[in-house]
Structure 1
């Protein structure tokens, strides 16, 4: 009788312990689920993806700008003109930055286009072009393919043509962090913080300050 009583008591304790363990597991799983949701909310996956894309755009802009500077240092003029005495201005024909896929030499704007784009002149060139289109091999063909892909974030080129002015390569930021960086440089919607040689594109670069991120640009250097 005593043995039976002790056995029943042991089984009851075991069942109680097993049930308590299951409850603990459920609690732990619930807590982990809550923490996972909290972490994902804090990380903001969309922001991280867009930040990665912006980082890629910045890298491409740096490579393009370096290629333009190397071409200019070696040739004595920019890849969108024929010789050092030509007007070095490059814009969209209305004073704004020109999308790199529309940049042709001479003159910058697509309206003056011939058969040689700036990217071709910086890359492999084109022997079949009507005008001389000798490549300088400053960029690889893989780079040209990447920045001209229909899914790529467009790059834009600008130079106001004045003596001593810098050439800028710009892109529209997609992440909050890069938009904030653009706004910090602009300081306001009129581009107070921009260098003097960017005054001509202040509206395009800073026009969306604190209102519309799609109207902001990051420009290098």
Structure 2
């Protein structure tokens, strides 16, 4: 009877030892979980994802603005910064930070381009309603990644709308477009290349089209 009692005690001790984890095992598991967490966060990179979302929004706005300018030109026969079809001054050198302070006027300084593309402001500046007021409120807002408009001196030149890329993915895209073997269009905005002041640390703006 006494022998069976001691055997039972021994079995209980053995079962206690095998039922749980040792401190070393727990530390190893915690270390592995920590490594996995770091790897997942590195892969996801939340800051990069936020910046990429912001850049995607800027691209969408740039596409809308270019489309509005092209529609205005197709309907009116001239660009919104020109003073009519007889005005041969096509060039928009580089409208930097088209916000509330960087006002974009037409060539004779009578109307803002945003009024001509939008709802207008009075009889002298009749709007085409190509873009809503909310669009301009958004792109003029504080903290917005401001759009930059460029058009070369020739009638055949394309209209470009550019912005400073914030995400690594868009910085790479901007660099790829202007780096050999890519062929940069002859009418491409010169200030969109190697310009850290307007295009950020990468030096190259994302330009559409």
Q: TM-score, normalised by structure 2?
A: 0.83
Aligned pairs for 1:46-61 within 5 A: 46-61=47-62
Pairing 1:106–2:96 present: no
Q: Tell me the CA shift for residue 22 of structure 1.
A: 7.0
Residues of 2 paired with 1:83 and 1:26: CA distance? 76
Q: Which runs of 5+ in 1 are unaligned?
A: none
Q: Distance in 1 between matches of 2:156 and 2:134?
A: 32
User: Are residues 1:218 and 2:206 paired?
Assistant: yes
1:195 is matched with which residue: 172, 182, 185?
A: 185
Offset at 1:218?
1.4
Instruction: Tell me whether 1:163 sits opposite 2:147 in the alignment.
Output: no
1:63 matched to 2:64? The reply is yes
Q: Is the 8 A contact 1:57 1:171 kept in 2?
A: yes
Measure the CA separation in 2 of the matches of 1:106 and 1:69: 16
Alignment correspondent of 1:80? 81
Higher helix share: 1
Mapped pair 1:96 → 2:89: no
Match of 1:152 in 2: 144
More displaced 10-residue stretch of structure 1: 69-78 or 2-11? 2-11
Provide closer, same or farther for how the CA distance between residues 138 and 79 of structure 1 changes in structure 2, counting only shifts above 3 A: same
Paired residues of 2:192 and 2:206 also in contact (CA < 8 A): yes
Determine the structure 1 residue equivalent to 2:164: 172
In 2, Cα distance between equivalents of 1:171 and 1:28: 46
The alignment status of 1:136 with 2:128, answered yes or no, reads: yes
CA displacement 1:82-129 (0-9 Å, x = unmatched):
3111134343xxx4344433353422xxxx644x321222122213xx
Match of 1:3 in 2: 4
Q: Distance in 1 between matches of 2:179 and 2:140?
A: 31
Distance 1:104 1:154 in 2: 13
Distance 1:18 1:182, change over 3 A: same
**Can you list the C-alpha shifts for 1:119-149, whole angstroms capped at 9, x where unaligned?**
222122213xxx7122222112221111111
SS at match of 2:84: coil
Q: Tell me which protein shows more strand as a share of its residues.
A: 2
Please give the alpha-carbon distance, in whole angstroms, between the structure 2 residues aligned to 1:113 and 1:100. 16
| Equivalent residues of 2:80, 2:113 under 8 A apart | yes
| 1:157–1:169 contact (8 Å) kept in structure 2 | yes
Contact 2:82/2:90 (CA < 8 Å) preserved in 1? no
